[in-house]
Amino acid sequence: MKACWKKEKPPEIERRIKSNDPEHNAQYEYANNFISTSKYNIFTFLPKNLFEQFQRLANAYFLGLLILQLLPVISSLTPLTTVIPLVAVLLVTAIKDAVDDFQRHKNDDIVNNRLSYVLRDGKLIEERWHKVMVGDIIKLNNNDFVAADLLLLSASEPNSLCYIETAELDGETNLKVKQAIDETAQLEDNHDLMSEFSAELLCEPPNNRLSKFDGKLTYNRKEYSLDNEKVLLRGCILRNTAWCYGLVIFAGRDTKLMMNSGKTKFKRTHIDRLMNLLIIGIFLFLVTMCLICTVACGVWESFIGYDFQAYLPWESFVPTSKETGSATIAVLVFLSYIIILNTVVPISLYVSVEIIRLVNSLWINWDVKLYYDKKDTPAKARTTTLNEELGQIEYIFSDKTGTLTQNIMTFNKCSINGKSYGDPIDELGNMLEISERTPKVDFSDNSYAEPTFDFYDKRLLEDIHSGVKETEAFFRNLALCHTVMPETKKDGRLEYQAQSPDEGALVSAARNFGFVFKSRTPSTITIEVNGETEIYELLCILDFNNVRKRMSVIVRKDGKITLYCKGADSIIFERLDPSCSQLKELTLSHLNEFAQTGLRTLCLAQKELQPDVYNKWKEKHQAASVTLDNRDDALDGVYEEIEKNMILVGATAIEDKLQDGVPEAIANLALAGIKIWVLTGDKQETAINIGYSCRLLTEEMEEPFIISAESCEEVQKELQTALDEVKKAKTAGAGRNDVGVIIANGGGGQAVYNGTNGHLPTQQEEYGDFALVINGHSLVYALKPELEGLFLELGCSCKAIICCRVTPLQKALVVDLVKRSKKSITLAIGDGANDVSMIKMAHIGVGISGQEGMQAVLASDYSMAQFRYLERLLLVHGRWSYLRMCKFLRYFFYKNFAFTLCHFWFAFFCGFSAQTLYDPYFISLYNVFYTSLPVLVLGMLDQDVNDDYSIRYPKLYTPGLQDALFNKRKFLWSVCEGVISSLIMFFIPYGAFLYTHGVSGYDLADMQSFGTVVAAILVVATNLRCALDTSYWTGFNHFVMWGSIIYYFCFILAFYSEGIGYSYVGVALSVFSSANFWLCLLLTCTLLIVPVVAYRFYTSNINPTLSDKVRLRQRIKKTKSRSRDLNFRRQSTMRRSTRSMRSGYAFAHQEGFGELITSGINMRERAEDKHKEPVTLTKITRHDSTRQKPPPVEPNSNIVFVEHL
């Protein structure tokens, strides 16, 4: 905490730094490089931790009860009954917090005490990180961590190149290239020059933008523009670079890494929110019982107690008059009963819930079936508070590229000068179907060709050999217009490192067709065309960003200046010369054909520039590149001027393969009643086709509703028309099915389950009739307040929804709309930085560790390697967690109401004097030792059916969608059971022991004996009830179940023995040696258990749930002889469509190396990386869907799953 008397530092507007001038920099009071991620120290731990714990309402509530118990005038219980559980809870939580914080301290100490070489007084000294200050000059060696955010001054590589790994920042392991400006690069590794280096840096204030930096360096009276490519961020590692020097810009908590280490948004489950409401209701119930006892006490004292003061004298402070005295005692009794009956809300409930959630999270982490061995990536629960919410997901919002698809690109087809290439043809010009026997194009005459590259249309290679100019221009564009970095290995292999897989695939395609990108410098690009070297002067790179959706390069060769451009078709077509109109129509036709087969498309264009035009434009570009005000907007405006009136060259078509198991997972999740919305940046055609590829869209559906209007009125009209058609179809189809429970999966897409006969879904029930596809520009209007209701109603009436051309913000807004309006549990899943906002917005965020880095994983609640694992995460772990938590809560409330209400019944026999029925120590230990372990094990291990059947029968997920296993009704049922059980537990022993004598002739009807009898029956009966609720028995269940009962009897016999000398000495031996007790125990447990067994037997046989039926089949399968093995078939969760497998295209979502390449440095072959190979993009293969052999099925049958009973 900041000292209250310390003046708060005003927020920074800009940062000014002078190199080698610590006195000047000290006046600004910039943060030093010490970091602390811990919450406590040795002095603040106890007060701060207790303060945080008592901010929880439950802990504060029990602290208030403890204070009341310290007042002997109102408390008939020893304070130990509350002190023991409260201290236990506080202690366990404090130990957990202390261990976590100790680990943070250790990590902080490791980081703060790392060593760096710092230039001080002309000498390079070894200094600990926490002593590094803003303005210091640091030297880093190869494989060193970057100590703070640095401006790169010089480096060992040619022209001050250096390579860094940013895995700690964004999870990406491919190397990034950074560069110093030429003027500081001349300082090299010279300590004297570095010590004399005097420059002033003006830059942006500390912020959390990892990919952006704006600054200006003034050196030798000249100003130099600084951007993110000249900055090394804390947390990076220097790779393949012998040394480099950097000037500290931001240190410690001001570094971008620490600025991004904000607190994770706290998420609460639906059950948590319901629990808060129920706790309020329980407290009101508690107050009601206390008021009843208070009124009754006042009446009793007025009519009976007042006249018996000789036997039961009133306290001295109580007024002597009947009315006033009785009222005073009644008020005190109210507080006393608040203390006695508080166990109806036990503090151990909260601890038990957290333990169960922790263990269920570990099951996810340890599940080998969620482990992806190809990348050595297990699933990980990054939170422990949301497990049961996984069993209640109603809406899934999924990204497409890299989530449903692999984000591994293969070059399949292209269009050049109005001619389409890619499909093999025979001698007569007829198109052939690609099969294993289809001959591939022979690239053996190209020494740079990749053996894994497959292409089937030999006409393209023939045109190149024939010298067709348009074809050469096409591949020359691919070989020149990119930001790929080449690298030649020791064995001579040429490999490429690209910022995106699609760009790597295009450059590799050009390489295989003889246009080999060999090397680059900041001012040249070298390619080899059919064995001849061509060197182009690189004048400028107009890099890609999400707004431009295109990139260009300007090169010069033999005095001719040419602009090459590639980008999204809609962007390129807007900037073409009018003379290309006919070619544009032909190319557009080919693009549509490519999209129909599910390929990702890209257009190429070029333009010749006159030298005077280019020179004028270059001046504008230079001015825009050094401005500090809206530099990006200024550059985009300059780019726009030159990228117009271009000539269309052609188009490319790349395939992005689906991940394994995606269609089956989506089909099964849809059968479970979960609605799946795909939110993608792809164009409409490719988005639709990927929908068919992954079976989100099916042949049984009507044609999707397309919403693509560009005005608010037109969007409203299209939405309303579509909704009217859906309602019309639903009205026409009403009454067709006589069903029990309808699982809403959108409009006509209802999945039906009849609980009375275990009906399994039919084809009609598996799939609905309608799908909705909406474009991003239409979504802008659909998300406005006046249209969002209409959009949501239509979307929820359709089975499949695809939103295409959407921005990251629109993804989050769609999730928020459903989350707010439907009050349903949502899940968002994605793999890239553009999915982070969606992941954070949803109730549960799942990150895919894919090709686009780890940004989505770092923002997620759960992470996994493949989309198909989501099926198991929800249908197995989510369903089990929800089932376990609901069982736990129902049982917990049952046993505590049964326990507490016995006090209430006893009040009618003790004159409402707040006398306790049980031994005070029994009250303290009941929820901690006697009944806690069995229900904890149930909450950790229980399962109604195994994981295999949970996936085979996705409709088992339905109770979670309907919130059927724990709700207000189930809670009230548990309370009623607890009340009835307390009546039986109290009055049967009361009647049985009222006139009972022991073997020795002593009376067994004393209060201590009666309390011991009821307590023993309570422990046995509640543990037996837990056994009845347990569906999955292990040795651990048996141990804790029967062990808890045995432990109770052994402990009570020992504790009530003469050796301890407790006030209950001898009571346990006297009671347990009586036959009356054992007969009473048997009778009471029979009355409590048998009706429950009978009711469950009746319901499971007469009106079984699907869970009952599947559990029976599971049991039969285990017990039947293999010789009598039977085949049981169920409807497939997957349909084979007649459509071809499809995918779609989305251009790279990040900037390339453009700014680096044009900065004026020579980028030759990098030093060998002895520790880590860079990303290789050389293995490019063409996906052949016909090679995928479907599983064997019977002819004309849709049956996929065959189950043996």
Per-residue pLDDT of 108-167, as tens digits, reads 888 889 889 999 888 889 999 999 999 999 999 988 989 999 999 999 887 678 888 776
Burial of 417 per CB tally in 10 Å (0-12, 13-18, 19+): middle
What lies within 8 Å, CB to CB, of 295 at 6+ separation is 330
Element (H, E) at 1054: helix 1035-1055
SS3 content of the chain, % helix, strand, coil (to 5): 45, 20, 35
Question: How far lies 394's CA from each of 390, 746, 820, 860, in Å?
Answer: 10, 11, 13, 18
Question: How far lies 1052's CA from each of 402, 834, 1045, 1047, in Å?
Answer: 61, 62, 11, 8
Residue 80 near residue 66 (C-beta atoms within 8 A)? no
Q: Tally the C-alpha atoms within 13 A of residue 911's C-alpha that lie toward its C-beta.
A: 12
Q: By C-alpha distance, which of 547, 580, 549, 587 is closest to 566? A: 549
Residue 934 near residue 1023 (C-beta atoms within 8 A)? yes
Amino acid at 366: W
Question: How far lies 701's CA from each of 207, 685, 749, 799, 880, in Å?
Answer: 49, 17, 9, 9, 33
- Told to judge if 399 belongs to the known catalytic residues of this protein, a careful annotator would answer yes
* Three-state secondary structure call for residue 224: strand
Predicted pLDDT at 1156: 52
Predicted pLDDT at 93: 76
Q: What are the φ/ψ torsions at residue 667 (nearest 5 degrees)?
A: -60, -40
Q: By C-alpha distance, which of 418, 145, 483, 212 is closest to 1177? A: 483
In the sheet that 771-775 helps form, which strands lie side by side, from edge to edge? 380-381, 862-864, 844-848, 825-830, 393-398, 675-679, 800-804, 771-775, 705-707
Predicted pLDDT at 135: 92
Strand partners, 224: 217
**Cα separation of 172 and 465, whole Å?**
40
**Cα separation of 715 and 349, whole Å?**
51
Residue 503 near residue 481 (C-beta atoms within 8 A)? no
For residue 224, give both structure tokens: 């130099």
Burial of 491 per CB tally in 10 Å (0-12, 13-18, 19+): exposed
**Cα separation of 806 and 680, whole Å?**
6
What lies within 8 Å, CB to CB, of 402 at 6+ separation is 830, 831, 832, 848, 850, 851, 852
For residue 477, give both structure tokens: 């564009």
**Cα separation of 840 and 815, whole Å?**
10
Question: How far lies 61's CA from each of 57, 87, 345, 713, in Å?
Answer: 6, 14, 10, 55
Predicted pLDDT at 364: 93
**Cα separation of 1189 and 1186, whole Å?**
7
Long-range contacts of 253-257 (CB under 8 A, 24+ apart): 253/31, 253/35, 254/30, 254/31, 254/149, 254/206, 255/148, 255/149, 255/206, 256/149, 256/169, 256/206, 256/207, 256/208, 256/209, 256/210, 257/168, 257/169, 257/233
For residue 418, give both structure tokens: 């109005």
Q: In whole angstroms, what separates CA 646 from the centre of its chain? A: 44
* Three-state secondary structure call for residue 1137: coil
Residues of the chain with pLDDT under 70: 1-9, 56-57, 75-77, 81, 159, 167-175, 260-267, 346, 407, 428-429, 499-500, 545-546, 598, 683, 685-686, 699, 732-769, 833, 850-855, 998-1004, 1120-1205
**Cα separation of 583 and 738, whole Å?**
58
Predicted pLDDT at 759: 37
**Cα separation of 381 and 877, whole Å?**
11
**Cα separation of 965 and 886, whole Å?**
6
Determine which one of 136, 367, 399, 944 is catalytic. 399
